Amino acid sequence: MSDLVENFKTVLQRIREATPANQKPVRLIAISKTKPVENIIELYKAGQRDFGENYVDELETKANDNVILTECSEIRWHLVGHLQSNKVSRVLTRVPNLYCIQTIDSIELANRINNSLKQQSKTLNILLQVNTSQEAQKSGISKDDFLALYEHVKTNCTQLNCQGLMTIGLLDNVNAADDSDFHVLIQCRKELCEKFNLSIDDIELSMGMSHDYERAIQVGSTIVRVGSLIFGARLRH
């Protein structure tokens, strides 16, 4: 077994051990940013199906790799980085097997994606990114405005399937055991469910990365985004 596959199996085991008994299985997104397609293919053959990329250019290149297209037909691509408006058309038309955009943070972006999908007669899964740490340099809608965004999407964006919420923790808090951002997102889910009469089980929470994914799961995350623990340290982008 290669180091890559061994790392993958270890993360899966730790996810299982961290998941509360009464919670549904947690989905692992393998963040393959800066990593070669050979790594993705190897993980796919080991059983992984969900892969995440931060940048549209890199996602487009990898998703169109000939070997991935022929040997990884069930791959599910997640865009987990900020999506610029001028790249909406590209990501929607040039990325085979695009499964979810996890970073919807404005009505304008939701409308642009919805209109493009309508022209293609397609639908797409999305998550709403909430800036739980309220950092100005970070993308995401504020916790005070996300309910209005959700309502707009549900009412006006017929091509978008909003599966839940996503957050990135405090940027300068990578090495500290501070779960405050997780609890803010959990509170957001509670408010969402109460306002729209939804079941908590129906709202996904994408939170937790390599340094804190186990803690995120223990407090309620249903999707974790793990890169370096599986693939090793990232190359400079």
pLDDT tens-place string over residues 151-204: 999 999 999 999 999 998 776 555 566 789 999 999 999 999 999 999 999 999
Average pLDDT over residues 27-41: 97
Instruction: Give the count of beta carbons closer than 10 Å to the beta carbon of residue 35.
Output: 23
100-118 pLDDT tens trace: 999 999 999 999 999 999 9
CA distances from 21 to 58, 163, 201, 218 (A): 37, 22, 14, 10
For 164, phi then psi, to 5°, come to 160, -145
Nearest-angstrom CA–CA distance, 50 and 102:
13
At 169 the pLDDT is: 76
Residue 87 structure tokens: 């790249």
- The pLDDT-based confidence of 97 (bands split at 50, 70, 90) is very high
Bridge-partner residues for 124, per DSSP? 160
236: its two tokens: 């400079």
User: 203 and 165 in contact (C-beta within 8 Å)?
Assistant: yes
Q: Is the Cβ–Cβ distance between 51 and 78 less than 8 Å?
A: yes
User: Mean pLDDT over all residues of the chain?
Assistant: 94
Q: How far is CA 178 from the centre of its chain?
A: 21
User: Using CA atoms, how far apart are residues 105 and 166, in angstroms rounded to an integer?
Assistant: 10
Across 91-97, average pLDDT:
98
Give the per-residue pLDDT at 200.
94
Q: How confident is the model at residue 233 (pLDDT cuts 50, 70, 90)?
A: confident
Contact 236, 40 (CB under 8 A): no
Question: Closest Cα partner for 215 from 17, 4, 5?
Answer: 17
- Predicted confidence at residue 210, as pLDDT, reads 93
Q: Which DSSP state fits 213? A: H
Please say if the pLDDT value at position 219 is more than 90.
yes
152's CB contacts (< 8 A; 6+ apart) are 107, 110
Looking at the domain 3-19+26-231, which fold is it? TIM Barrel (3.20.20)
Secondary structure, 3-state, 88-118: HHHHHHCCCCEEEEEEECCHHHHHHHHHHHH
Q: What is the DSSP string of 15-50?
A: HHHHS-TTSPPPEEEEE-TT--HHHHHHHHHTT--E
- Burial group, residue 102, by CB count within 10 angstroms (0-12, 13-18, 19+): buried
> Residues 113-138: pLDDT tens digits?
999 999 999 999 999 999 998 877 77
Euclidean distance between CA atoms 58 and 33, whole angstroms = 8
